[in-house]
């Protein structure tokens, strides 16, 4: 099973960027390291630091530092190979494939993330953009539970809004009020209704209509 998944990952280029994009933070990769890996996947496996430096518009020292970091993380490995009479350093990506394979088989964190993104796509009726993925990821990284995110999404779509900025404002307001569950949402609504019903009717004469939001 493991070998089969690994083979699929290695042979289907379209899958690799998606898997990397969804899991690069879980693999503790920086954005620069991610870009370098995608570059390697789409070019020759021969290690040519000068070419990488020119193509990615980064310094040679930066290339070497990124390669060293990726090696220390077990993502890549440099191997000296002789093909014919020519010796070259080749970039071995087996470490990357093995880690991605593990992420597929160990379905805890990736499955949760992929599920929340799928829910947004289903509610919006379209694929979400890379920027939207980053915003949702930021919510999760900042400690917002998936339950709260789903509730905020539900609240937004109920109001006919499919905009992450609107959802972000909901999450921000809920965070200030300590709202985290469906029960908390219902309590907040009930308190709002009770305050509204308890307000004297003659107060409407003094209502500040210009500042009504």
- Check which CATH number belongs to the domain holding 157 and give it: 1.10.10.630
Residue 6: predicted pLDDT: 53
pLDDT of the residue at 9: 52
For residue 40, give every residue at least 6 positions away whose Cβ sits within 8 Å of its Cβ, in sequence order, or none: 76, 91, 93
More confident position, 17 or 41: 41
The answer as to whether 210 is a domain residue is no
Do residues 102 and 135 lie in contact, with contact meaning Cβ atoms separated by under 8 Å?
no
Q: Is residue 213 part of a domain?
A: no
**Would you state the pLDDT for residue 59?**
93
91, 112: one domain: no
pLDDT above 60 for 168:
yes
Radius of gyration of the chain (CA): 25
Query: Residue 89 domain-assigned?
Result: yes
Q: Are residues 133 and 179 in the same domain?
A: yes
Q: Let me know if residue 209 belongs to a domain.
A: no
Q: Are residues 49 and 25 in the same domain?
A: yes
Q: Is 207 within a domain?
A: no
Q: State the Cα–Cα distance between residues 213 and 52, nearest whole angstrom.
A: 53
Q: 42 or 59: which carries more pLDDT confidence?
A: 59
* pLDDT score at 67: 93
| Same domain, yes or no: 44 and 7 | yes
Domains: count for the chain: 2
Q: Which residues, including other chains, have CB under 8 Å from residue 164's CB and lie 6 or more apart?
A: 132, 135, 136
Res. 182 pLDDT band, cuts 50 70 90: confident
Residues 89 and 146 in one domain: no
Closest CA to 71 of 112, 104, 50, 40: 40
Supply 203's token pair: 């107060």
Mean per-residue pLDDT, 73-79: 91
- pLDDT, tens digit (0-9, with 9 covering 90-100), for 80-118: 887 778 888 999 988 888 888 887 776 544 444 447 888
Reported pTM: 0.44
Q: Is 206 inside a domain boundary?
A: no
Question: What range defines the domain where residue 189 resides?
Answer: 107-196
Which of 37, 68, 102 is the endpoint of a domain?
Answer: 102
Q: Answer yes or no: do 135 and 92 share one domain.
A: no
Tell me, yes or no, whether 146 lies in a domain.
Answer: yes
């Amino acid at each position: 099973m493991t070998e089969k998944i690994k083979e699929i990952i290695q042979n289907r280029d379209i899958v690799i960027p998606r898997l990397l994009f969804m899991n690069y933070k879980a693999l503790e990769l920086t954005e620069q390291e991610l870009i370098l890996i995608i570059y390697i996947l789409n070019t020759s496996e021969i290690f040519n630091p000068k070419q990488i430096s020119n193509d990615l518009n980064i310094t040679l020292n930066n290339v070497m530092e990124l390669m060293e970091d990726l090696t220390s993380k077990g993502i890549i490995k440099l191997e000296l190979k002789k093909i014919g009479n020519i010796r070259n350093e080749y970039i071995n990506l087996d470490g990357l494939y093995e880690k991605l394979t593990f992420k597929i088989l160990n379905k805890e964190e990736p499955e949760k993330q992929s599920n929340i993104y799928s829910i947004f796509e289903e509610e919006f009726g379209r694929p979400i953009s890379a920027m939207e993925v980053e915003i949702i990821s930021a919510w999760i990284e900042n400690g917002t539970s998936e339950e709260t995110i789903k509730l905020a999404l539900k609240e937004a779509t109920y109001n006919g809004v499919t905009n992450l900025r609107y959802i972000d404002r909901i999450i921000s307001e809920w965070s200030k009020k300590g709202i985290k569950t469906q029960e908390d949402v219902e309590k907040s609504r009930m308190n709002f209704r009770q305050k509204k019903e308890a307000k004297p009717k003659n107060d409407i004469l003094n209502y500040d209509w210009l500042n009504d939001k």
